[in-house]
Each structure stands twice: as C-alpha cells, then as structure tokens.
Amino acid sequence: MRWRLAAIGMWLGGTTLGCGEDCNSESVVPGYRIVVYEAGSSTPVCDASVYVNELSARETADCAYAADVPAGEAATLKVEKAGYATATQQVTTKYETDSCGKAITIQVQVQLEPNP
C-alpha cells in the first residue's frame, strides 16, 4: 500500500491539478519575440541592435530577437542597424495567458527603412 501511494504521488508531482496534462509548476517569464523586416518586404534583418526600454534584446537562431516584458503600461522598442533609419515604437506590456496561466509571448514586427 505504501509503494502504491508513493507511485501516485510521483505521477501527480509533475502536473498542476485542474490545469490539464501539459501544465507543470515551471515559471514562464513574459517575453517579446521581435522580428525585424526590411520595409516593404518580407526579408528579415539579422544582426540588428534591438532594445526594449534601453535593455538589449537577445538575437535567436531564427533571426528574431527575444526580450523580457518590463513592468509598466508600455515599453519603448528601438531598432538600429547600419544602412537603415533607426526605428522606435511603443509596445504593450499586457500579455495573454494560456489555460495553465502561463504567459504567452508577445509577437512584435518592426519595419526598417533603408537609408537612401
């Protein structure tokens, strides 16, 4: 009987009850996924300098950028790259949550205008 209770406890340990089979207690920090395009095209711009409230975003393997969502109502997104005009835009800090209550990444697209 003791072994059976331990096995049940281990089986329940990785799941948050009432949240579905895929939920767990892992914390998810709200974040942005920022994709930078050349204006008027679907060509992504890699190796740009991307900032959220003056904090650097991380470039990901797929030529996108990731950053944590800061506190407050809105954040300022700034993108710089040689040969392009600097782009600045306001982005929301409000994010949706999934059925487990975990933050869903905010998708942001930025268009960079080439310098003449």
Which amino acid, residue 49?
S
What is the three-state SS of 75-105?
Answer: EEEEEECCCECCEEEEEECCCCECCCCCECC
Rounded Cα distance, 38 and 24, in Å: 39
**How many domains in the chain?**
1
In angstroms, what CA-CA distances link 65 with 72, 101, 116? 21, 24, 26
In a domain, 6, yes or no: no
Q: What is the mean pLDDT of residues 20-30?
A: 79
Joined together, the tokens standing for residue 26 give 């892992």
In a domain, 108, yes or no: yes
**Which pLDDT belongs to residue 27?**
82
| pTM of the full structure | 0.77
In a domain, 53, yes or no: yes
In a domain, 34, yes or no: yes
Joined together, the tokens standing for residue 115 give 């310098």
pLDDT tens digits, residue range 30-79? 999 999 999 999 999 999 999 999 999 999 989 999 999 999 899 999 99
CATH number of the domain encompassing residue 95: 2.60.40.1120
Q: Which residues constitute the domain of residue 58?
A: 28-112
In a domain, 7, yes or no: no
**Which pLDDT belongs to residue 21?**
56
